[in-house]
Structure formats: structure tokens, C-alpha cells
Amino acid sequence: MDELPIGRRVAYWRGRRKLSQQVFADRLGKSKSWVDKVERGVRRLDKFSVLYEIAYILEVDVQLLLGKDPERRADALNCIDQVEVQEIRAALERYDSMSAYFDAAPYPPPLVDMRKAVNHAWLTYQYGRYGMLTRALPKLLRDAQAADAGHDGDHSREAAHLLGQVYQIASSVLRKLGECDLAWLAADRSMAVAQRADDPLLAGIATTRVCNAMVAMGRPRPALELNLTIANRLAPGGGNDTDPGRLSVYGLLLLQGAMAAARLGDSATVDDLINGAHEAALLLGSDQNHYWTSFGPTNVELHRAAAAVELGDGGRAVEVHQQRIAEPAFNTLLPERRAHHLLDLARGFAQIGDVANAGEMLLRGDRLAPSEIRCRPIAHEVMSDVLRRTRGAPPSLIAELAEHMGVGV
């Protein structure tokens, strides 16, 4: 879009928002004729105040109207491009709840529709369909924010709960795709909203999203400390119940703490936290999906292998996979979890110099959830390593996957 005149960009984003010229003009407080002249380039847009108002109504960053968005990547079908990043950023930067403090939204989205949309978004994430999810996120964020701002009374907590979940979904997928600053922002928003939702377990899961983003941004120590602080407060027993939701959230906090400790090279803390999570998983009995955690005995072993990779012990990660993870239980996990583990195994095999099996794990992961392999920066690093250390020409399937990933052979 860089070569388009600014009026054409306005028309493009107006079309994306499904606004007629008349509706757009009404929201701007202008005439339809004024909008038409701007879009045809007859009238210049030379006032920043007007540009920012247009950007606000179109729910995009003003830089997009000025033609600053980069070209779409070749892998945009499965991943995310900068146009979508900017749309998500614009949605995250809205403050509907503050606006509603002064002027309540007249028609908030019905909560029954929001519940369906949020559940669908979670499943889209857990099936590893990241491109589909990132294209839906801007609207989902705006709708959830509007619902949170517009519902009161008995419905306010549920609206806040749904918004908190949407922020968590956004944080999770943005972190995977390498947009760590936005992942942290979305996770931080989720923690604040969870307090209004008055759900300690939602706040616990929000903590793991914040800590994941912190680790990705190179701050594992505060991430470890925060995970442990909240895990201790939510630990089953004493004054706390031992229902499946609490066990799942508590266990995941310990697992994410273990991953932060692994990044610090603290193997003793890693073992302690994973063993604690294992005890919680045994109480739970099986792999379940309370609070969208996918927590259970098998997921604990997946994290045991992942932590070994972070510690640089690829041989241990392969051993965990071969000796501690039962294939039937593994195959019942959702695609994102399995493909993520196969990517960890690829890293483990690469660490011990077995690039053939590293490549095979990438292929298996790609068959399960292509976005987990084709879109994640860490997967690109593994593929580059496999190609660099393969003697002669790489196998045809590896070369084909590398081409899809945009990694040079």
C-alpha cells in the first residue's frame, strides 16, 4: 500500500471496516461529499488532527494511513504481517472502559455472542491456526472491550472475565510470533481485568502470560519470582480447595516457573518445580483443559523435556520423550501442545548433533500445526541450523518445508 495516495488508503481501511461513505462521514462530522473528495484525492488531508480522528474511527494506527506499513510477507497466509500487527496494536491501545466512565456504550455486544467468540478463539489457538486467529483478533478485542465497557450490574464480572481471556489469547499468540512487546502489553491488561472479574484463577493464568512475555523479553528472574509468588497464594490445601481448576492453574504456574528457572540455568529449581507440578497432575488424574491450560501428567512431561532443552541438555529431552511420554496420551493432546513439543524435540536433537531427527521433528510438527513450525522465529533458527549442518543437499521434504518457511537452503 506504500505507493497509494493517502485518500486511497482511507478508502481501503474504510472498506475493511465495512463503513459506507455516509456512515464514515457522519462519525467524522463531515459531509459525504467531503469524504468522497478526500478518497479521490481532490481534497488534501494536511491536518494531523483530522488524520488522527480518521485513524481513531477506522481503528488503525495513523502510520498506516501515512503509508508506513511494510509489504506483506510471503508467509502471511499462515503467519502474521505488519498490517495485522498494527491492527492488533491499535485495538490494544483503546481505552473503552475509561471512555465508558464518561459516556457508556449504548449497544454493547451480547455476552452470549461473546462467549461463543471467545471459546472459538481459544480453540483456534489450541489447534495452532495462528494466521486465522491474528486476523480475527482486532475485532474480537474491540468487541470484548465494548462488552466490558457497556455491561454493568450482574453482567459486569462476566464481561470482564471474557475480556481477560481475549487479552490472554492475544498475548499467547503474539509471543509465539515474536511480537513480545505487544504480548507483554496484552498480558498486563489481562492481569488488571482479572481483578475486576474477581476470579483468582483467571488472575493466576494471566500471571503465566505476563511471565512468558517477560522471559521472551530476556527477564527470566522476575518472571520466576512472580510465578512462584502467585503459585504459593493459589496452592491447594489449607484454606484453598483442590478442585480441578485450581490444580490446573497452580500446576501451570509451577511449570512456567520451571521454564523461567531453566532460562536462568537453575536446574535444581527446575526439578523442584516440575516435581511439584507432577504432584498436582497426579491429583488431577489426567490431562484436562480447565482454564484452557491443557494441564495434566503428559503436559508436565512435555515441560520436563522443554526445560531440558532450555538447559542445553538435548539428550535428556530426547530421553524424556522416549521413556516418560506415552504415545496414546500424547496423541490426545491438542495440536498446539504436540507441535510445540515436537519443535522442542527438534531443538534437542539439534543440540546433540542429530540433524536428521531434528528435521524429522520439524516435519512432524508441520503436519500437525503448520503455523507452529512455519511462523515461530525459534523454528526458523532450528531449520537454519539443520540446513547448515546437513551434508550435501537436504532431503526434498526438508527443502520444501524450508522454502515454505522462507529459510534459505
Work out whether the CA dihedral 365, 370, 376, 377 comes out positive or negative: positive
Return the C-alpha cell found at 207: 500471571
Which residue do the cell numbers 521472551 mark? Answer: 216
**CA atoms of 165 and 293, how far apart (whole Å):** 12
Paired strand residues for 237: 240
Return the C-alpha cell found at 381: 533458527
The 3-class SS string of 186-251 reads HHHHHHHHHHHHCCHHHHHHHHHHHHHHHHHCCCHHHHHHHHHHHHHHHCCECCECCCHHHHHHHH
The contacts of residue 361 (CB under 8 Å, 6+ apart) are 342, 343, 345, 346, 349
**CA atoms of 335 and 345, how far apart (whole Å):** 15
How open is the CA angle 312-385-368, to the nearest 5 degrees?
Answer: 85
The contacts of residue 311 (CB under 8 Å, 6+ apart) are 262, 265, 267, 270
What distance, in Å, lies between the first and last C-alpha atoms of the chain? 30
Nearest Cα residue to 231 out of 251, 259, 261: 251
Domain ranges of the chain: 334-409
How many contiguous H segments (helices) and E segments (strands) does the chain have?
23, 0
Per-residue pLDDT of the chain (409 residues; tens, 9 = 90+): 445 688 888 888 888 777 899 999 988 889 999 999 999 888 888 777 788 788 878 877 676 777 764 344 444 445 776 677 878 888 887 765 544 443 445 578 999 999 999 999 999 999 999 988 988 899 999 999 999 988 888 899 999 999 999 999 999 999 998 889 999 999 999 999 999 999 999 999 999 999 999 999 999 999 999 999 999 999 998 888 899 999 999 999 999 999 999 999 999 999 999 999 999 999 999 999 999 999 999 999 999 999 999 999 999 999 999 999 999 999 999 999 999 999 999 999 999 999 999 999 999 999 999 999 999 999 999 999 999 999 999 999 999 999 988 887 5
Distance, C-alpha 44 to centroid of its chain: 39
**CA atoms of 198 and 368, how far apart (whole Å):** 37
Backbone angles phi, psi at 238, to 5 degrees: 65, -125
Residue 207 confidence (pLDDT): 97
The 3-class SS string of 334-374 reads CHHHHHHHHHHHHHHHHHCCCHHHHHHHHHHHHHHCHHHHH
**CA atoms of 26 and 113, how far apart (whole Å):** 28
Nearest Cα residue to 164 out of 139, 200, 131, 133: 200
**CA atoms of 147 and 167, how far apart (whole Å):** 14
The contacts of residue 210 (CB under 8 Å, 6+ apart) are 171, 184, 187, 188, 190, 191, 223, 226
**CA atoms of 122 and 167, how far apart (whole Å):** 11
- Indicate the residue type of 323: Q
For residue 68, what are the CA distances in angstroms to 82, 83, 86, 262? 10, 10, 10, 39
**CA atoms of 270 and 286, how far apart (whole Å):** 22
